[in-house]
Amino acid sequence: MDKSPAVSIKVRDAEYTVSLGLKPWQQTNEETGFSRNVTQVKSDAVAAPVSAPSASATMVTANGSKVKANGSKVKASGEGVKVTNGRAAGASGSRNKSAAVKDERGKSVRTVVLKGKAPVDPECTAKLKVAHVYYEGNDVYDVMLNQTNLSNNNNKYYLIQLLEDDQRRQYSVWLRWGRVGAKGQNNLVACGPDLDEAKEIFTKKFSDKTKNDWASRRNFEKIPGKYDMVKLDYTTESCVEQKKPTKPVKTPESKLHPKLQSLVNLICDVKTMEDAVLEMKYDAEKTPLGKLTQDQIKAGYTALKKIDKCIRKGDFGRTLIEGCDEFYTRIPHNFGMQRPPVIRTKEVVKAKMNLLETLADIEVAMKIIKSASTTQNPVDSQYQSLNCPLQPMDGSNPMFKVIEEYLKNTHAATHNQYSMKIEEIYSIDKDSEKQNFKDLGNRKLLWHGSRLTNWVGILSQGLRIAPPEAPSTGYMFGKGIYFADMSSKSANYCFPSRTKQTGLVLLCEVSLGKERELLAADYNADKLPPGVHSVKGMGKVAPDPQQTHVMEDGTMVPLGKGGDTGVRNPNGFTLNYNEFVVYDTKQIRMRYLLKVKFNFK
């Protein structure tokens, strides 16, 4: 007999009682096999009434119980859950769960069962493991709608899925809606074997919420006051569910050097990606990582461009609000019950641009992670997909000592909250960069830092320039690729913390050619005069040029200790440190990747 603790909850303003077992659960990621213990805990959530179903349909609550249109009592099914009232409601069949599932850190967790081209919503527990999202070729009957209206404090979603049972031709339409970040309300409409009825319910609901036809959704037009369609990428999922083998398949041994295995695991860690976007308020539940299309991300940039234009003009009225509505609608954010904040400063615009850059890199990473071969070790497959040969460098290599000195000597005095220690150095030899490299002279080995989430995209595709849709205000010297000669200036872009002490920093051979020297920001600096190849933002502190090390191939390494350059801007703010910017990716070769430990004081 189950001795697990239980709780009986009397739901306020309703006529039913819910009894829940609180025994431990285990959550397993079916893609990676990673497992962790989770525990149900009591919540103070209040259940809302389930909306009435249509007269011709039977509503099925999320736990599998059925309620006919006349509201007659039906006994609910589901382990550990008993419901008695005239409007049966399951554990997740009402506005809020009566029990929340949390992991050891207190964060909400969920299980996604992936079958076909899109996962069944994990809140639809009645169909989670027995049905799949219906599709016909490339037409996937799954849509996430989003709407943000700052004036009315609206930040809401509407999910519609047409589901087909795995074992028989039975169809249903799953609807879930609410405020972004909340489980919301739901309705499961059973259509029996009638696919046409299910399609009609699905398409009508889509039309009601968007004023667009489902058949014409590829030419979707956002209607004021209606929901927008979040465009998702279904190409990374398998069309056919793979049958589980009767015997466990042994994962082949990795053929990679252990240090390379460690690096691949570090940059392909999905949990790290989830944590990064969560910090930036992105809602990964409504729009899973790697599923946003490039068009959707570009739409986010377009909205930011409108916001940036308003900020530069000092227009903080309706036009700015509409731009923010558009951005939050295209790129869903989770602010809980708080009103979504108006984006009023260039700093926030830049932060949102960083989010979009991260989402674009994560899209690349997720495709590589999910396309891993089944015939070789997943780490080996992911490494090969990078198309970027990496070689761990031995500590006895003279170049190791040069890089170590460069890192130490150019750690800026103003960045004294941490010190850095090299854990590994990897030599990079990317064929495409070597073949396309444009040697304009004045080649320097310079620093570039980025979040862990971005490195699959960087290593596989190289450093990239912001798209035309992005506002230029977020870039001090226009849209280009930025480098530094002070290690800690670039290392700060790893966004390290006391709890996230590992980062990756890149050393690139940059062909600067003839530099245009600037003392102040110029957002149009990317429009270079004839004969000029790069921009140098002049800083007060820079490495001592007398201590520059020259590599065998002529590349200069400015590894001297930082000192006062005497540079001052007579018209205002002076940069603390140099900035080097190129506007052509062919002027860059990635040479060394450093795995660094940040030791906070």
Q: What is the 3-state secondary structure (H, E, C) of 232-289?
A: ECCCCCCCCCCCCCCCCCCCCCCCCCHHHHHHHHHHCCHHHHHHHHHHCCECCCCCCC
**Residue-level pLDDT at 314:** 92
**Residue-level pLDDT at 250:** 76
Highest mean pLDDT among 4-13, 113-122, 247-256, 420-429: 420-429
d(CA 518, CA 536): 6
- Mean residue pLDDT of the chain comes to 80
**Residue-level pLDDT at 578:** 97
The answer on pLDDT for 404 being more than 50 is: yes
- CB atoms closer than 10 angstroms to residue 378: 19
The answer on pLDDT for 36 being more than 90 is: no
Query: Exposed, middle or buried: residue 501 (CB in 10 Å: 0-12, 13-18, 19+)?
Result: middle
Span 303-330, average pLDDT: 90
d(CA 428, CA 392): 9
Query: Exposed, middle or buried: residue 224 (CB in 10 Å: 0-12, 13-18, 19+)?
Result: exposed
Please give the positions annotated as active site: 579
The answer on pLDDT for 160 being more than 90 is: yes
> 258-383 in CATH: which number?
1.20.142.10
The string of pLDDT tens digits covering residues 488-537 is: 999 999 999 999 999 999 999 999 999 999 999 998 999 999 999 999 99
Largest CA distance in the chain: 88
**Residue-level pLDDT at 348:** 92
Q: Where are the domains of the chain?
A: 1-111, 258-383, 387-600
Q: Indicate the fold that domain 387-600 takes in CATH.
A: Phosphoenolpyruvate Carboxykinase; domain 3 (3.90.228)
**Residue-level pLDDT at 288:** 61
Buried b or exposed e, range 38-48, using 16+ CB within 10 angstroms: bebeeeebebb
The more confidently predicted of residues 391 and 182 is 391
Task: Please give the model's pTM, rounded to 2 decimal places.
Answer: 0.64
Span 56-64, average pLDDT: 40
Span 376-383, average pLDDT: 91
- To the nearest 10 degrees (0 to 180), the angle between helices 346-370 and 294-313 is 170
The answer on pLDDT for 67 being more than 60 is: no
**Residue-level pLDDT at 285:** 65
**Phi, psi angles (nearest 5°) of residue 546:** -70, -20
Band of pLDDT at residue 84, cut at 50, 70 and 90: very low
The answer on pLDDT for 481 being more than 50 is: yes
Helix ranges, 145-257 (H) = 195-210
Q: Which distant-in-sequence residues (6+ apart) come within 8 Å of 575 by Cβ? A: 519, 537, 538, 539, 540, 567, 569
d(CA 559, CA 407): 8
**Residue-level pLDDT at 373:** 67
Cβ(301)–Cβ(353) under 8 Å?
yes
The more confidently predicted of residues 21 and 336 is 336
**Residue-level pLDDT at 90:** 32
In sequence order, the β-bridge partners of residue 139 are 136
d(CA 128, CA 126): 6
**Residue-level pLDDT at 438:** 96
d(CA 434, CA 416): 36
Share of the chain above pLDDT 90, in %: 53
**Residue-level pLDDT at 302:** 92
- Integer-rounded Cα Rg, in Å, for the chain is 27
**Residue-level pLDDT at 233:** 66
Cβ(256)–Cβ(379) under 8 Å?
yes
The more confidently predicted of residues 294 and 239 is 294
**Helix H or strand E segment including 354:** helix 346-370
**Residue-level pLDDT at 294:** 82
> Lowest-confidence range among 165-179, 242-256, 363-377, 428-442?
242-256
**Residue-level pLDDT at 284:** 65
Closest by Cα among 48, 56, 61, 53 to 88: 61
